[in-house]
């Protein structure tokens, strides 16, 4: 009999939350900021691969991966060994003031994965938000312009700069006063809800028209626009992929006007879609690309990668105390080895497998409106009625909670979408378990519809 963590699938042994979990929840309610958004009471203790064990000995199959972070699974032995070795040698020195070998090593490797022939330079951060913050500054610095264009539904972070680009949920902005000026948001090409009835290939043509014929004519002269920033697959906003043509056209518009084409791959990057970057599926070459989440298997690291011709700011113009910490870099190098050698290909293969298993869901379950995404970045949109596409946020929440009680960890995204973002190492048995469990949840939730 395998131990709980060695098992491939869940084992629930107490009511949820169990007695130890309840104790932690009480402490948490007393001492933690109430701004966190916990959907269900998982109190994690240990993890291995795609399995997480809670404080009461319940084992869950993790299809959330700490918001798409634990790319190589929980505590991969090679990542753990790299962290331990580095921690025993040097924990911190600050790459802003000193040098260490692994920093340019990782930068070179990351730069080589980014599309485009020109060589790249990298600024390391502690988070996705900081990578975005750096991208805003670099775009302004490099172009000597200040206007920015972003998309409704996109999430880029919560610091005042990144939040000014974020247009996901109004609660994320409410109460925080004035944000950066000179930022305009335009609709994201959301094929399932395309206002013009287009398909997944063609949705968004009118948005580009609006950008050129309205925004550039009536609001911002394109010569004043520093950057256009987009998630190639919207994450927080509901796992919505932008059509290939749309991203290519956006790049063309940027090039035409000398605007920085900034691609936020914080959630969609690092092999999750079966390629290093979702940008590669569209054949685009960003001027600036932001990464974080899966880059270091759970250690706090982000990266802003830019073309060499773009990242030409002067010493002192940008810096960080912790960003690119040696322990995080060691974890990232081990993570890249694993993604390159097996997990990127596994993400592609298991993504195809899961999409195959879910192909009939919209036929079989009337509350499933849409199944979309790429690789192991999969969104399932829950609706009250497939014809009207009425969003069923309540049913989505019921499904997420039911899945937890059956031992499957998933997260919501957008108003009414379930996101699947498992570690990139899942196998068929785990994919099958997730499919069967979600089908059971749809049946049960469907009765409440």
Ligand X SMILES: Cc1ncc(COP(=O)(O)O)c(C=O)c1O
Question: What residues make contact with ligand X under the rule CB under 6 A?
Answer: 67, 127-129, 132, 155-157, 231, 235-236, 264, 266-267, 292
> Closest CB to ligand X among 253 and 266?
266
CA distance 329 to 104: 10
Give the pairing of strands 147-151 and 120-125. Answer: unpaired
Of 43 and 289, which CB lies nearer to ligand X in the complex structure? 289
Q: Packing angle between helix 326-338 and helix 102-113, nearest 10 degrees?
A: 40
Spatial separation of the C-alpha atoms in residues 212 and 231, rounded to whole Å:
20
Question: What is the smallest separation between the CB atom of 6 and ligand X, expressed in angstroms?
Answer: 30
Q: How far is the CB of 355 from ligand X (least distance, A)?
A: 22
Q: What six digits make up the tokens of 378?
A: 């999969």
Residue whose CB is less far from ligand X, 165 or 367? 165
Is residue 88 within 8 A of residue 96, CB to CB? The reply is no
Distance CA 95, CA 312 (A): 17
Closest approach of ligand X to the CB of residue 67, in Å: 6
Nearest residue (CB) to ligand X, 128 versus 326? 128
Distance in angstroms (rounded) separating the CA atoms of residues 123 and 386:
45
What strands lie across the sheet with 408-409, from one edge to the other?
Answer: 44-48, 51-54, 59-62, 408-409
Q: Minimum distance from CB of 300 to ligand X (Å)?
A: 8
Closest CB to ligand X among 58 and 126?
126
Q: Is the peptide bond before 236 cis (omega within 30 degrees of 0)?
A: no
Nearer to ligand X, 304 or 402 (CB): 304
User: Quick check: 259 and 232 in contact, CB under 8 A?
Assistant: no
Q: Give whichever of 113 and 127 is closer to ligand X, judged by the CB atom.
A: 127
Shortest Cβ contact with ligand X: which residue? 128
Q: Are 351 and 358 in contact (CB under 8 A)?
A: no
Minimum CB–partner distance for residue 445 and ligand X (Å): 26
* Residue 58 C-beta: closest distance to ligand X, Å: 26
Least separation, in Å, of the C-beta of 413 and ligand X? 9
């Amino acid at each position: 009999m395998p131990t709980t963590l060695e098992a491939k699938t869940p084992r629930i042994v107490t009511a949820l939350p169990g007695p130890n979990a309840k104790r932690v929840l009480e402490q948490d309610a007393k001492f933690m900021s109430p701004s966190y958004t916990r959907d269900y009471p998982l109190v994690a203790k240990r993890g291995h691969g795609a399995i997480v064990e809670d404080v009461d000995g319940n084992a869950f199959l993790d299809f959330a991966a700490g918001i798409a972070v634990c790319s190589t699974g929980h505590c991969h032995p090679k990542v753990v060994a790299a962290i331990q070795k580095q921690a025993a040698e040097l924990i911190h020195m600050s790459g802003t003031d000193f040098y260490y070998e692994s920093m340019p090593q990782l930068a070179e490797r990351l730069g080589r994965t980014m599309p485009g022939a020109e060589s790249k330079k990298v600024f390391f951060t502690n988070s996705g938000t900081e990578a975005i913050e750096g991208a805003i500054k670099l775009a302004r610095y490099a172009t000597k312009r200040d206007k920015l264009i972003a998309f409704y539904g996109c999430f880029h972070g919560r610091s005042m700069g990144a939040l000014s680009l974020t247009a996901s949920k109004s609660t994320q902005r409410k109460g925080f006063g004035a944000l950066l000026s000179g930022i305009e948001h335009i609709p994201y090409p959301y094929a399932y809800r395309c206002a013009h009835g287009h398909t997944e290939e063609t949705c968004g043509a009118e948005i580009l028209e609006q950008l050129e014929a309205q925004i550039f004519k009536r609001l911002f002269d394109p010569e004043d626009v520093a950057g256009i920033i987009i998630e190639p697959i919207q994450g927080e906003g509901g796992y919505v992929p932008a059509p290939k043509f749309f991203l290519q056209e956006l790049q063309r518009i940027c090039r035409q006007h000398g605007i920085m084409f900034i691609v936020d791959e914080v959630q969609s990057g690092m092999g999750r879609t079966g390629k290093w970057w979702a940008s590669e599926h569209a054949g685009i070459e960003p001027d600036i690309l932001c990464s974080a989440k899966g880059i270091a298997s759970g250690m706090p690291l982000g990266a802003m990668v830019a073309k060499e011709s773009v990242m030409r700011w002067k010493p002192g113009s940008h810096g960080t105390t912790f960003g690119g910490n040696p322990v995080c870099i060691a974890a990232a190098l081990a993570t890249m080895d694993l993604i390159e050698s097996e997990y990127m290909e596994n993400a592609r293969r298991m993504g195809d497998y899961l999409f195959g298993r879910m192909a009939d869901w919209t036929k079989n379950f009337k509350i499933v409106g849409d199944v979309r995404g790429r690789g192991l970045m999969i969104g399932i949109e829950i609706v009250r009625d497939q014809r009207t596409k009425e969003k069923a946020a309540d049913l989505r929440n019921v499904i997420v909670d039911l899945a937890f009680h059956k031992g499957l960890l998933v997260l919501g995204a957008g108003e009414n979408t379930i996101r699947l973002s498992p570690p990139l190492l899942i196998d068929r048995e785990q994919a099958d378990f997730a499919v069967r469990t979600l089908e059971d949840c749809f049946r049960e939730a469907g009765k409440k519809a």
